[in-house]
Amino acid sequence: MGIAISVLGKLGLPGVDSLSTDQVYKKYFGNKNIKKYEDFHLAFVDLCSDFNLVMPGRHFTIQASEIRVFYDSKWTKVPADTDGESKRKALLVEFMKDRVKEYKTSSRAMMVTGATAPPAAILIKKSGEKVPQLKMLRIDLIPDVVFVPAFTVLSLIGVRILNVTRTTRDTP
């Protein structure tokens, strides 16, 4: 993943690489009194959340167990003095480059849903005129130019929710 200079600029930081990583580190980790894993985890989640906010369409993910292993094996081994802070910053940047991965959605499922949802919406609307269970919903009163796009968007949102739910269940 790395920390892109342009993304850090969107966080309100200058474009110099080392200065940007210094300011990001100070904002999320340096100014906070991190004594235990829970504090570190909250700071890391804040960093990832802000990073995902400034990246339209691209999101990054990491398993919580990897954060715990990093904290226990590397972060706590470095002293919290002035010299240790630069080592911690370098360890954190290296950890993010190695372990934080781009979250990939199932584009195939999205494409299939996007292609099949409009015809399915038309079939549902036509069958709504004859099937008693659908007839009581009065779908026939909704114009096609509203119903088909709304049905398609809701179908795509449903596929996205299923993908996110599946990936969060797979992540320990």
Range of the domain at 79: 5-102
Check whether 120 has a pLDDT greater than 80: yes
* Domain end among 102, 119, 136: 102
Check whether 169 has a pLDDT greater than 70: no
**What predicted TM-score, i.e. pTM, was given to this entire model?**
0.52
pLDDT recorded at residue 103? 66
Check whether 1 has a pLDDT greater than 50: no
Check whether 69 has a pLDDT greater than 50: yes
Nearest to 7 by CA among 74, 53, 73, 62: 53
Q: What is the pLDDT of the chain when averaged over all its residues?
A: 77
Same domain, 52 and 32: yes
What are the tens digits of pLDDT across the range 127-155?
888 888 888 888 888 899 999 999 999 99
Same domain, 55 and 121: no
Number of domains forming the structure of the chain: 2
Same domain, 77 and 153: no
Same domain, 97 and 13: yes
% of the chain beyond a pLDDT of 90:
13
Q: Chain centroid to CA 144: how far?
A: 34
Same domain, 125 and 68: no
Same domain, 88 and 113: no
Task: Give the residue ranges of DSSP H helices in the chain.
Answer: 5-10, 17-25, 37-54, 64-70, 82-99, 107-127, 132-135, 144-170
pLDDT recorded at residue 13? 45
- The tokens 């398993």 sit on which residue? 63
Angle at 46 between CA 44 and CA 42, to 5 degrees: 55
Check whether 18 has a pLDDT greater than 70: no
Check whether 20 has a pLDDT greater than 90: no
Same domain, 78 and 151: no
Q: Which amino acid is at 66?
A: E
* Domain end among 85, 102, 119: 102
Q: Average the pLDDT over 3-31 and give the result.
A: 60
* Domain end among 77, 102, 127: 102
